Structure 1
């Protein structure tokens, strides 16, 4: 029902942001190719890989594309949104494996320095997990990452899990639906595994990364801890924290000035780093 309600609003969003959406598959993985009407010269030859959120169980198919549509429309980049397998179709590590399959396919035609990877919430964690997985396979890392309020620690470690409990009006509680969904996805696997909780991974050699969160976000600490982990590893990392925002609220309505500001920052970050 949630996915169906989201899909109803997508045609108007595509028209409003001047983006074309095409369902396809890449090496067996379902994707949506999101292409803005206009791609400036400086963005041509560059590709953004988008991984959708939803606690690893929500927003299948087209319902997972709105964040990618906003980035394509406001940032004027070609975006490939990955419709990765979710329970009950598949469990850990299906999400990161599908994202990596698409990334490897894009690498065949596009230099790594021209590829950006972005996503929010579970997909914020997936952007980090993809880099960990890519390094395991000796693949070049993307040119830049945008990790929005990442679910970087599924073990519920972090100050804001407690200080923002029932303050965050999206996730609400550290013991709420998103925690339960992640446990379903993990299917008995250790939640501290860096491919589920990437804050425990080695972040040396990561590409420049921009992280986004809000002062009321249950995952504020998850985001801050990743920022510090990246900085300690010598990685260029930017942290933006928005006043009064709960989890991922900057991506819920593309018409709001807060959304324009957040995605403008992310697009500018990609512009400064991709191709370098």
Structure 2
């Protein structure tokens, strides 16, 4: 793993939020406004003592890089921000990659170096990449699919679904359904799993809801990372995560480009935001939810976990203290390997649970 401890001249004890707030010289009272809004005085937040120094440095690097790229077109922004991370991921996890088309939808197929073992060739993992429904990172899905293909020894299919502004909801779900239907002709549902982070996590939930709505069998397991409902624009972490994890002032609920994609969605549609529809959630397969405490999506992830538990779904919540949104995309951070290990173990354990599996 690469060392990034010397990347910055500033102290690693300064978290991203310290770029915005300085510790007050005189103690001030916290104000409570009518309606319950809590107003803080100026305050500094040190890094979490449970988070690695490399993770803290990665957060600072992300914020400073993102700020330097503001105003660039989405494709250029993603290339500059995520390109170096993809190169480090490729160097750490040797895999093969092939562009293909499944169900009329472009995909990238990742396999571990040396190919998939014969005993695992009837098992497959579907990845839905992040990107806020407005684009995809360099090599859509590579940051998420490369480590998982290497660590599980399984084939991973990353779906290059359509995004805003070319399309709006439910085009991305349509693409995932088309891929899933085609894969069902080759793989039993009990030997497939699906996962994604951020917009890909929300889309994973939407896809599971769609599979139920159209009568398709659910996959064996799902993992929803750095997401829950509506990409996280609700709950306490909309404030705390945006400040602590991204060094930005909080956005208004429903704001941002993801709302652009979702403008054609109806609130009563269970395939749009499944967390609001208990009868749909009850059909979900075993589901892993993972998030960091400094992720703006933490509240939504916790809410999704809560609702799944209430419906009796086998679900697990993993929270990494100090982690920002999609922190595990940087494989230099020790916690990143933990995340991929947790995902790999959860998904493969459920694939291997099938008594018909070889």
Choose the corresponding residue for 1:141, options 209, 213, 218.
Answer: 218
Match for residue 182 of structure 1 among 251, 258, 276: 258
Are 2:111 and 1:35 equivalent residues in the alignment? yes
Give CA deviations for 1:66-120 in whole Å, capped at 9, x if unaligned.
Answer: 2111211223221000000112322111111111111111111101010000100
Please report the TM-score for the alignment, with normalisation by the length of structure 2: 0.70
Q: What is the distance in 2 between the residues matched to 1:269 and 1:161?
A: 28
1:107-256 mapped onto 2 (5 Å cutoff): 107-153=184-230, 156-169=233-246, 173-175=250-252, 179-190=255-266, 193-201=269-277, 202-250=280-328, 252-256=329-333
- Counterpart Cα distance in 2 of 1:193 and 1:138: 16
- Equivalent position to 2:182, from 105, 122, 143: 105
* Aligned residue number for residue 22 of structure 2: none
Which structure has the bigger radius of gyration? 2
Q: Which runs of 5 or more structure 2 residues have no equivalent in the other structure?
A: 1-75
Alpha-carbon distance, 1:14 to partner: 2.9
TM-score (norm 1): 0.90
Inter-partner Cα distance in structure 2 for 1:155 and 1:111: 32
Unaligned runs of 5+ in 1: none
Compute the displacement of 1:232 (Å). 1.0
Report how far residue 163 of structure 1 moved: 3.9
Aligned residue for 2:335, secondary structure, equals: helix
Query: Aligned partners of 2:94 and 2:291: how far apart in 1?
Result: 27
In 2, the alpha carbon distance for the partners of 1:68 and 1:198 equals 25
Tell whether 2:159 aligns with 1:82. Answer: yes
Distance 1:247 1:13, change over 3 A: closer
* Higher deviation after alignment, 26-35 or 56-65: 56-65
